[in-house]
């Protein structure tokens, strides 16, 4: 059977070519018109360097907020070498870009320092948007979504009651160390089923060291090697390449966090030696021996387990530390919270997560803590995969996009007197929660497809810690790291991606003998 004769007339040929040519012409015109639009406003650029010298290494989110006011814009353009940074300072812009256009704003740029040198390329928050990221997030969500959150409450309560409260009762005043050990131990238990040592747990210390490197290496603009990648090849002995020695140390800790607790979990599962339920045990149990992607899923489980552990050691711990700083510096808030707890919970038991609906002021304290201190003020930067426009501005493809949650949660229209700690801003006149006040979680836990999938888990542990501590203790004294009594409102914050208050000490006193007995009983039952 022969092919049909495809003789076409000239008009037919022109018509056939005309449609794709018209599409190409239209696309070219639109692209040219888009690129001819101005970039968002921002500080003046220097030749070659752009704004590299303008981006502060410490507290950049504060500078971004001030620039937004200076240039009267909720979106800014900052040039770091060849890289365009787009700073988003408002909920409106974040919703329009990071939420509604999340398909093109959900990727991540691979950091030379953090990914290629220190080796954190496997961590979920650094993965580019794609199938591997989706599978990682899906695996995480299956264990930490809203419906599964209640599964973790008994273990959260066990650590708050059996570790945190006894430590405060015995007179330990290094709140930051206690919180990190408690939250790190909880995360270790949830992820791997490993029981922590009550003092100096090696896994918790490893997690702290690894995440410290993650925070330092991941701070945007802090190291030139991210803007000038060729610097990665400079040897450590060369002047100005001292970061190479830091890289070596950070990579060692990163590899330890990624591998050591996972292999300990495998040993516990195999030997059934005091094995607890855990993320690793559950996920491995769901893999068939004949599964064609068994090895891939095994590595995926290892990666996500390490994410659970690392997040607890740092960002979650920072939020709990922030609560302690807030109540230490606001005695009137503390007294009102205790009055609510005494009315609802009474003096003969400790609060539980089931009391949350009856304790709106405690919930308001947690919301205000997330807003006022904000553990991740600038979030992890997004990466734009296509050219875009917004409010008449051109946003170039391959831009790094920073959602500046600090500016959003300091917006005076949403939060009058934003620098003041005021939990009552989230309440109605009758003391109930006001749903019309913007929930700070909309910025505190990220945006769009990159929103933290563990936000409900995080909120519940901060809430349990807040309710339990306020129900059990009065604050006696607040001192600095050297033991000198200080105004807690003047305690500075350390720089980095995660916002930790500087080292401070709080002395607590049990509110009654009954509380002491309740805590002693919880400590006896605690096994890590």
Task: Show the CA angle centred on residue 74, arms to residues 373 and 396, nearest 5°.
Answer: 115
Distance CA 182, CA 162 (A): 10
269: number of Cβ within 10 Å? 17
416: number of Cβ within 10 Å? 10
452 is annotated as contributing to ligand binding: yes
Bridge partners of 477? 507
> What distance lies between CA 491 and its chain's CA centroid?
22
Nearest CA to 220 among 383, 444, 388?
383
Distance CA 306, CA 188 (A): 9
168: number of Cβ within 10 Å? 23
Show contacts of 173-177: CB within 8 Å, 24+ apart: 173/479, 173/505, 173/506, 173/507, 173/508, 174/503, 174/505, 175/321, 175/324, 175/504, 175/505, 175/506, 176/317, 176/321, 176/500, 176/501, 176/503, 176/504
DSSP element (H, E) containing 341: helix 331-344
Annotated binding residues: 452
Annotated binding residues for heme: 452
């Amino acid at each position: 059977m022969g092919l049909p004769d495809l003789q076409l007339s000239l008009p037919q040929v022109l018509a056939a070519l005309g449609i794709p040519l018209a599409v190409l012409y239209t696309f070219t015109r639109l692209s040219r018109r888009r690129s001819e639009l101005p970039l968002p406003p921002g500080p003046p650029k220097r030749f070659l360097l752009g704004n590299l010298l303008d981006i502060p290494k410490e507290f950049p989110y504060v500078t971004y907020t001030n620039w937004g006011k200076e240039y009267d814009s909720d979106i800014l353009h900052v040039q770091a070498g060849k890289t365009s940074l787009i700073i988003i300072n408002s909920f409106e812009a974040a919703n329009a870009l990071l939420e509604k256009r999340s398909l093109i704003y959900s990727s991540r740029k691979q950091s030379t320092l953090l990914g290629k040198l220190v080796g954190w390329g496997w961590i979920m928050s650094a993965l580019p948007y794609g199938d591997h990221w989706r599978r990682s997030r899906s695996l995480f969500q299956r264990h930490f979504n809203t419906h599964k959150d209640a599964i973790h409450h008994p273990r959260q309560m066990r650590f708050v009651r059996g570790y945190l409260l006894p430590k405060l009762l015995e007179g330990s005043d290094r709140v930051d160390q206690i919180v990190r050990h408690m939250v790190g131990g909880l995360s270790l238990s949830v992820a791997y089923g490993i029981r922590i040592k009550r003092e100096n747990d090696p896994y918790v210390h490893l997690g702290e060291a690894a995440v410290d490197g993650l925070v330092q290496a991941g701070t945007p603009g802090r190291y030139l090697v991210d803007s000038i990648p060729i610097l990665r090849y400079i040897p450590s002995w060369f002047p100005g390449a001292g970061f190479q020695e830091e890289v070596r140390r950070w990579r060692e800790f990163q590899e330890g966090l990624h591998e050591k607790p996972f292999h300990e979990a495998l040993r516990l599962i195999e030997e059934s030696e005091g094995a607890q339920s855990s993320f690793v045990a559950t996920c491995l149990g769901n893999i068939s021996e004949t599964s064609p992607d068994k090895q891939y899923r095994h590595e995926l489980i290892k990666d996500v387990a390490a994410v659970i552990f690392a997040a607890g050691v740092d960002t979650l711990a920072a939020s709990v530390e922030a609560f302690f700083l807030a109540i230490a510096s606001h005695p009137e808030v503390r007294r009102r919270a205790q009055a609510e707890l005494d009315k609802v919970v009474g003096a003969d038991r400790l609060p539980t997560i089931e009391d949350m609906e009856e304790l709106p002021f405690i919930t308001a304290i947690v919301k205000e803590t997330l807003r006022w201190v904000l553990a991740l003020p600038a979030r992890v930067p997004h990466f734009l995969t296509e050219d875009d426009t917004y409010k008449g501005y051109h946003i170039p493809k391959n831009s790094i996009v920073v959602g500046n949650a600090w500016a959003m949660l300091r917006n005076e229209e949403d939060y009058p007197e934003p620098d003041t700690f005021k939990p009552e801003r989230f309440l109605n006149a009758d003391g109930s929660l006001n749903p019309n006040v913007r929930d700070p979680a909309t910025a505190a836990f990220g945006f769009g497809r990159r929103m933290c999938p563990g936000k409900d888990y995080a909120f519940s542990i901060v809430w349990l810690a807040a309710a339990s501590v306020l129900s059990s203790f009065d604050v006696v004294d607040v001192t600095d790291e050297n033991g000198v009594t200080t105004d807690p409102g003047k305690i500075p914050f350390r720089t980095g991606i995660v916002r930790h208050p500087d080292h401070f000490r709080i002395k607590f006193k049990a509110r009654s003998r009954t509380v002491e007995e309740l805590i002693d009983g919880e400590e006896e039952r605690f096994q890590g």
